[in-house]
Chains A and B, each alone.
Chain A
Amino acid sequence: MTSEHNPPITRQEALSALEEIDRVRDHVRRTLAGGAMAPMLVLWGVIWLVGFAFEQFIPNAYRLWVVIDLIGIACSFYLGAFSRNAPVKGSGGARIGVSWLILFGYATLWSVLLYQSATASGPGWTAYGPMLERKMALLWVSVCMFAYVIMGLWLDRFLLWLGALVTAATLVGYLFEQRYFFLWVAAAGGGSLIVSGLFIRKFWKTAHA
């Protein structure tokens, strides 16, 4: 296991080395993910804050959502693909971007199906409209936050808790807050993403291995 010219490694030294390896690996993974994730969280937090706040006061705000979501996707692509100061080259960032696009497509598919089933009800659509918008909001928030729950299982429990708590808060708003539901989601969802992004930017990158 070691040459006769090198002193043998004790069990304690080997154990310390293995612990150090695990610590460095976790730290590097977390630091790099935090650097990439923080601006995305803030970006989408602002989009949710603006989008849901507008939806509170503008009926049928789906056109606004299409516009700001496309802006968000373009900004995300720019942040991910063209960041000159990205610390890692050749990583799997493109796969993460594609994963989010697939999730976006999944939620869009269900939005279209829900909308079509609602409009198929004919004249009742007008009354059904606001309930559908709330269902759509819950769908989008829960799908996006599910992604953070999964990421949290692999990366850091902070993300898991972020996803779970925002989903729970949105569900509470859906069940109990009829009048200001969208403002509730703007604050709980958008606000949480912004705060989380700032928190990760400050504390994940400054911790040392």
Chain B
Amino acid sequence: MPEIDTVIHAPARLRIMAALVSLEPRAQLDFRTLGTTLVLTDGNLGAHLQTLEEAGYIKVEKSFVARKPRTHVSATSKGRARFEGHVAALREICGV
């Protein structure tokens, strides 16, 4: 039976997961682009990403591109499964 995931259900984290799950399974989204697209400040986004990372729903990778630090974020398979379960639970509540 699908369950509501309280970690994902917080509005900002719901949008973060929706954004990451919309990408292909191996794709990683740039931190800055994620924040700009979802209209979240760096601090706000960072805090939510930490929560999701601690839950094992996302992976955060830091690297250097042309000597500049870049952070990329992707949804883990666990995160995708939990997100899909959350969506299924929402649909069940809506009777869809």
Contacts and interface: CB of A to CB of B under 8 A. Distances in A.
Question: How big is the A interface, by class?
Answer: 20 to 34
A1 B38 contact: no
Contacts of B28: 88-90
A202 to B, nearest CB: 15
Interface in A1-43: 1-3, 6, 9-11, 14-15, 17-18, 20-21, 24-25, 27-29, 31-32
Contacts of B32: 87
A18 B9 CA distance: 11
Interface string B2-38: 1110100101001100110111101111101100011
Interface string B49-78: 000000000000000011000001010000
Contacts of B18: 20-21, 24-25, 28
Question: How big is the B interface, by class?
Answer: 35 or more
Contact of B37 (A1, A3, A31): A31
Interface in A89-107: 89-92
B92 interface: yes
